[in-house]
Structure 1
Amino acid sequence: MLPTHVLAGMLLAAPLVQAAPELAPVGFAAGFLGGLFPDLDMYTGHRKTLHYPVYYSLLSLPALLAAVVAPSALTVAVALFLLGAALHSVADMFGGGLELRPWEGNSDRAVYDHHREEWVAPRRGVRYDGAVEDLALSVGLSVPLLVLVDPPLRAVVVGTIAVAVVYTALRRRLAEIAAAVVPLLPEAFDPYLPERYR
């Protein structure tokens, strides 16, 4: 779902095109980075280490207020980054579980809620990352972006869609490759592998 997350983060900046066009490029870039940021924990406690559905959401409120009251590149960037990270963390609840083959539906872990100190179960509105409906969401989010953004960011949107298409085509094969390759790795790699790979 990473392409979907970054496109959704970018789309959060759409109001800036009319309200503050000079800040729109900063907003689109910050939304992209905010949508990306939580998944930097992919190999270190995925969906727990950098996913904060409650806290990103709470922090984004005063940041958004600051961006409205005192719009600047900094306030807009902070607000859109936090909103993108919040949307990503919350959206992961509506996807598949945290497992190597999420289409099997065996995991009861979607994202960790640090506020309640418990895992939130997957709701599977999107069956799994890389599913056809995930790709459809990415394409749907990209359409308004292709209209709203200027050529440098348009290339980012097109590149993100290309990644989404390739990932969707290969998603199930990637799980099979991981399942075949991981047992062949030396034991020294074990501490660095996500739990779902073992």
Structure 2
Amino acid sequence: MLRVALTGNIASGKSSVARVWARLGAPIIDADVLARRAVEPGSPALERIAQAFGPGVLEPGGGLDREAMRAIVFRDEAARRRLEAIVHPEVARLRREEEQRLEREGARIVVNDIPLLFEVGLEDEFDVVVLVDAPEAVRLERLVRDRGLDPDEARRMIAAQMPAEQKRRRSDIVIENAGTLEELEARAERVWRELERRVSG
């Protein structure tokens, strides 16, 4: 089974590529979905988070108060690392379970959609790393136009991520997304067909 990582900085078009691939039959494991599952009420990870950060990070119903948690880790690097040390191993366990299930069901390719692939050092765990990228000016325009962000806030979000140039050097395939959605979808389909050829060859 070919294990593919799909990644890209904010407003790069990664989610659009994931949608095209899913439409073409790709099984997609979404890291954000796994991260939410990892801290569901009653989960061991959520219990450890409450022990580490106090009951103030829990909602009245027992779930994780994401706003409260974000406020803590945003200003405290050590707290962010402590949170990641709890959540990341649980996400990795859930990912392995999903991959094993898909392999049992006969999947020949499995795609892991991981926005922070390089930031958390996971790229070596996959057979192929696919990066979706667009020039910074284009991504800034998309954040302001499509998501309604203030330009300064959008710039801060872009600056907080690892520069795309570093990610490009460490990726096996780069899907360029400086043009239209139709152009991106055509490129995404070409790359998917190439991945299919690898496993059928």
TM-score (norm 1): 0.28
In proportion to residue count, which structure has more strand? 2
Higher relative contact order (CA 8 A, sep 6+): 2
Greater share of residues in helix: 1
